Amino acid sequence: MKTIERTAGKKEIYLQIAQQFGTPVYVYDANVMIDQYKRLQNAFTKVPTRFHYACKALSNHNIMKLFQKLGAGLDAVSIQEVELGLLAGFSPKEILFTPNGVGLEEIVHAVDQGVSINIDNLSILEQFGARYGSSVPVCVRLNPHIMAGGNYKISTGHIDSKFGISIHQLRHLERIISYYDIRVEGLHMHTGSEIVDVDVFLQGAEILLDAACDFEHVHYVDFGSGFKVAYKPGEKGTPIEELGERLSDLVMKYCQKMGKRLEMVFEPGKFLVSEAGVFLSEVNVIKQTTATVFAHVNSGLNHFIRPMFYDSYHHILNLSNPEGKERIYTVVGNICETDTFAWDRPLPEVSEGNLLAFLNAGAYLQTMSSNYNSRFRPAEVMILDDKIYLIRKRENLNDLLATQIPVEFELSISSKEIQTV
């Protein structure tokens, strides 16, 4: 697993970051992101292809600017992400707005910003058509009814999913489009995340391309993403090169059938940033019970929710004692809640004060963090060509209070009366 070797090889720079900025801290290696983006580009050369960075994975303004400079577009799922993308330098047409279950007001705001719109339900599409007709082109998200993804919580294309317009509602969809003269320029799907099997992608692609044959103005098909990266040693990720070859051949076949050119679009998020991230946390306490040896770190699910939310595995390195004799630890956090990072994990012997590095920490850590227990969110640091950049400062008490409004009020009951109740 390259991530382990790469992190171990940069041990000194991680130790320096921990000393300089304190822990816990999120660290991102921008060169890894660049390599992942280039890998995608090299895998899809037969058919014109665009990649829109799914910034919900990691929405720091500097990371968004990095992908803008690389030539990527942006996939935004909220109007706030749209606005951040515009501030990061993306042009409106480079941003695809793909929300779920939002009201028409948010869609209208996005139209006013000039970004491309992707609609995933018939109700909003009908309201959109009544307001704009053919004056604003739109992309439509379909649900192919395919169960795919590494976890039910991240499977988005099955029959019980809230995402997309059912492929079985195509006739209804066509009626709405015809009645309101809606100009559909793209079709979209996303079956789930962490998909390894290329055949699953192709199954969904066949459905999407079949549907595209019935839409006169469609000039791009958006296959979402769901590309898997390896989390465990020996684990396999999505074979991107094979996918690029086979999916491109399939799209070219449909282009010949339809007699027109189609562009492919993908929305990778985790694939681009997950392996670039390392989360550094310090061990506060070693606690031995009758059954377990706990390594308590100075963080918790408020900074790193994925293991508790998705049962995800994240490899852990002991940067302070990498060659130590292995012992079994359960690594837990400091939140007043069960917040376990790893059960019964073999690690080089851990002592209080040791620095632990959690790998694959670039995606869905900071963006899903919170102030639970009124803890501060950590700083974010970016490494680019071995130069260190602080890209988000650690929060302080003023940040917690920034949006709270002190109110003067009086109780109608005295403290003495409360005690006697």
- Region 385-409: what's the mean pLDDT? 96
Would you state the pLDDT for residue 193? 67
d(CA 330, CA 346): 9
pLDDT tens-place string over residues 324-373: 999 999 999 999 999 999 999 999 999 999 999 999 999 999 999 999 99
Nearest Cα neighbor of 46 from 245, 342, 313 is 245
**Which residues are tagged catalytic?**
336
Q: What percent of the chain has pLDDT over 70?
A: 94
d(CA 162, CA 122): 12
Would you state the pLDDT for residue 411? 83
Q: Is the pLDDT of residue 265 over 60?
A: yes
- Region 414-418: what's the mean pLDDT? 70
Nearest Cα neighbor of 208 from 253, 167, 161 is 167
Q: Considering only 153-167, 254-268, 310-324, 354-368, which range has the smallest mean pLDDT?
A: 153-167
d(CA 318, CA 283): 10
Instruction: Classify the phi-psi angles of 346: left when phi > 0, otherwise alpha if psi is within -120 to 50, otherwise beta.
Output: beta
CB–CB of 391/380 below 8 Å? yes
Choose the most confident range, by mean pLDDT, from 113-127, 160-174, 224-238. 113-127
Which pair of tokens denotes residue 39?
Answer: 């890998």
Would you state the pLDDT for residue 217? 94
End-to-end CA distance of the chain: 63
Would you state the pLDDT for residue 420? 60
d(CA 246, CA 4): 30
d(CA 261, CA 176): 25
Q: Considering only 60-74, 211-225, 384-398, which range has the smallest mean pLDDT?
A: 211-225
Q: What is the mean pLDDT of the chain?
A: 93
- Counting Cβ atoms within 10 Å, is residue 145 exposed (0-12), middle (13-18) or buried (19+)? middle
**Banded pLDDT at 378 (limits 50, 70, 90):** very high
Would you state the pLDDT for residue 151? 41
Which pair of tokens denotes residue 164?
Answer: 């997309």
d(CA 405, CA 283): 36
Residue 152 per-residue DSSP state = G
- Domains of the chain (ranges, CATH numbers): 59-268 (3.20.20.10), 274-401 (2.40.37.10)
d(CA 59, CA 399): 19
Q: What percent of the chain has pLDDT over 90?
A: 83
DSSP track, 182-194: --EEEEE---BSS
d(CA 239, CA 262): 23
Q: Is the pLDDT of residue 158 over 80?
A: no
Q: Is the pLDDT of residue 147 over 70?
A: no
Hey, which residues does 26 pair with through a beta bridge? Answer: 279, 380
**Banded pLDDT at 248 (limits 50, 70, 90):** very high
H/E stretch holding 224 reads: none
d(CA 272, CA 66): 11
- Region 47-67: what's the mean pLDDT? 97
Would you state the pLDDT for residue 175? 96
d(CA 347, CA 4): 13
Q: Is the pLDDT of residue 148 over 50?
A: no
Which pair of tokens denotes residue 58?
Answer: 């990691």
Q: Is the pLDDT of residue 150 over 90?
A: no
Q: Is the pLDDT of residue 153 over 50?
A: no
Nearest Cα neighbor of 204 from 142, 256, 258 is 142
pLDDT tens-place string over residues 176-229: 999 999 999 999 998 766 788 888 889 889 999 999 999 999 999 999 988 999
H/E stretch holding 27 reads: strand 25-29
- Region 134-147: what's the mean pLDDT? 90
Q: What is the pTM of this model?
A: 0.93
